[in-house]
Amino acid sequence: MVLPLAGDERVWKKMIDAVDGLVFIGGGDVDPALFGEKRHRKTKNVVLHRDKQECWMMRYVKEKGKPHLAICRGMQVLNCLRGGTLYQDIAETYPTSINHSRSDAPADTIHEVTIMPSSLLGSVCGHEDLPVNSRHHQGVSRLGAGLAASAISEDKLVEALEYEDGSPCIAVQWHPETLHKDNPRHLAVFEWLVKTSEQLK
């Protein structure tokens, strides 16, 4: 069920109430005004209505205890919603030898991430280092309140987040939807979402 960008809080509430779980997908950059910064020259494709709608929806699904999976932009929105900040362009603002912005290779593994041993992510897809793709030019800088890093890349950039209070949420910076056919560990986050949504509805 695809939830469109539409309406206001009344419409958003009806959409969330109609589903048992939710995926917040990738897309354009988050408006840096959400974390108190001016736009970097490489910040692009900002859609203010989408930022507002997704922030409201994330608050509401957290309040209702509904499971949700946040992918790429979705993870960045979650971090900003909780008062965190972003590197607006990793290549220019973060010291790294990894090219994280590999949109030319959407299904290729670009680097590995180390998963935190006690994390929800680790319990879902295993604790061994995980090869991931990388299609983002922005990334988490300061962690938002109540969030914990559940995976980091080889250059120490945060690659996954979850709530410290155990709320049913997994947020990843990579794109498991284009890796799951070749690696069942990437499919596991979607299986977790379906299973948890069935259990909690």
DSSP 105: -
Tokens of 44: 């692009």
The percentage of the chain sitting over the pLDDT mark of 90, rounded to a whole number, equals: 99
67-88 mean pLDDT: 98
Indicate the pTM of the whole model: 0.97
Does residue 4 belong to any structural domain of this protein?
A: no
Find the catalytic residue in 136, 137, 177, 186.
177
What is the count of structural domains for the chain?
1
The string over 136-153, giving b where at least 16 C-beta atoms fall within 10 Å of a residue's C-beta and e elsewhere, is: bbbbbbebbeebbbbbbb
Phi, psi for 93 (deg, rounded to 5): -125, 0
Tokens of 70: 């946040």
Is 63 assigned a catalytic role? no
Contact yes or no for 88/138 (Cβ under 8 A): yes
Is 162 assigned a catalytic role? no
Does residue 2 belong to any structural domain of this protein?
A: no
Does residue 171 belong to any structural domain of this protein?
A: yes
Cα–Cα distance, 131 to 176 (Å, whole number) = 10
Cα–Cα distance, 32 to 153 (Å, whole number) = 23
Q: How far is CA 136 from the centre of its chain?
A: 11
Is 175 assigned a catalytic role? yes
Tokens of 86: 């972003």
Does residue 84 belong to any structural domain of this protein?
A: yes
Q: pLDDT, tens digit, for every residue of 60-77?
A: 999 999 999 999 999 999
CATH number for 19: 3.40.50.880
Does residue 1 belong to any structural domain of this protein?
A: no
State the pLDDT confidence band at 172, using cuts at 50, 70 and 90: very high
Q: pLDDT, tens digit, for every residue of 117-160?
A: 999 999 999 999 999 999 999 999 999 999 999 999 999 999 99
Mean pLDDT of the chain: 97
Q: What angle do CA 93, 176, 98 make, to 5 degrees?
A: 30
Does residue 102 belong to any structural domain of this protein?
A: yes
Does residue 14 belong to any structural domain of this protein?
A: yes
Does residue 170 belong to any structural domain of this protein?
A: yes
Find the catalytic residue in 100, 111, 137, 175.
175
State the pLDDT confidence band at 201, using cuts at 50, 70 and 90: confident
Give residues with Cβ within 8 angstroms of 53, minimum separation 6.
5, 12
Interstrand relation of 158-163 and 86-87 (parallel, antiparallel or unpaired): unpaired
Domain of 133 in residue numbering reads as 9-200
Find the catalytic residue in 72, 80, 125, 169.
72
Cα–Cα distance, 142 to 162 (Å, whole number) = 14
The percentage of the chain sitting over the pLDDT mark of 70, rounded to a whole number, equals: 100
